Amino acid sequence: MSIVNTLTLESNRQIKINFDGGDLSSDAGLLLIKEFAAKIGFTKLIKKKFKTNDEAVRFHKDAENLLQMIYQVISAYFQDDCADELTLDPVFLAVLGKESLASQPTLSRFFNRMDEDTLVQFNDIDKKLRDIIYSIKRPEHVLFDLDSTLFGTYGRQEGEGFN
């Protein structure tokens, strides 16, 4: 029986994973998710296929903001407000390959730039990603487990009846 002492990530050769009981991080599992995303080409797909209809030159690009929010949600940071706590988080910085993350106001402006065209892009990305995954192995059956989630709204926000 062999034991893996140190594993180097293909997506970032500077990051090494070992199991010697050293410093711990509750978000370090993101590194393995990033590795999986890199192997299936998810990050490249987002950067190639996603952009809002906004021509302004921005420090935090649309695809980077989307990836940040995806990783935040995977890590149970569901609100864009959580970005302020994560701005200099070392695991998120390593996963996203940035010196600092987008702040809550930046993410809010990003969400406000989304329109019907971005929904079409999400659909296209979903189709391409499904093609990639199915090229590896097509499932015989697909099971959907749908649960409702309550997102509370405060005040008289537009769309509050949707929840």
Number of domains in the chain: 1
Residue 101 pLDDT exceeds 50: yes
In a domain, 100, yes or no: yes
Residue 62 pLDDT exceeds 80: yes
Do the Cβ atoms of 91 and 25 come closer than 8 Å?
yes
Q: What is the mean pLDDT of residues 105-118?
A: 91
Q: Would you state the pLDDT for residue 23?
A: 46
Packing angle, helices 116-136 and 42-49, rounded to 10: 150
Confidence of residue 10 (pLDDT cuts 50, 70, 90): confident
In the block, tokens 């990003």 appear at: 110
pLDDT in tens, 11-61: 888 777 776 655 445 677 899 999 999 999 999 999 999 988 888 888 888
Range of the domain at 96: 6-162
Q: Would you state the pLDDT for residue 7?
A: 79
Contacts of 158 (CB under 8 A, 6+ apart): none
In a domain, 1, yes or no: no
In a domain, 34, yes or no: yes
Q: Would you state the pLDDT for residue 1?
A: 43
Give first-to-last CA distance, the chain, whole Å: 52
String of DSSP letters for 17-72:
EE-SS-S--TTTHHHHHHHHHHHHTHHHHHHHH---S-----SS-HHHHHHHHHHH
Strand 6-8 versus strand 16-18 pairing type = antiparallel
Residue 155 pLDDT exceeds 60: yes
Q: How far apart are CA 12 and CA 78, in angstroms?
A: 26
Closest CA to 4 of 19, 22, 21: 19
Q: Would you state the pLDDT for residue 22?
A: 55
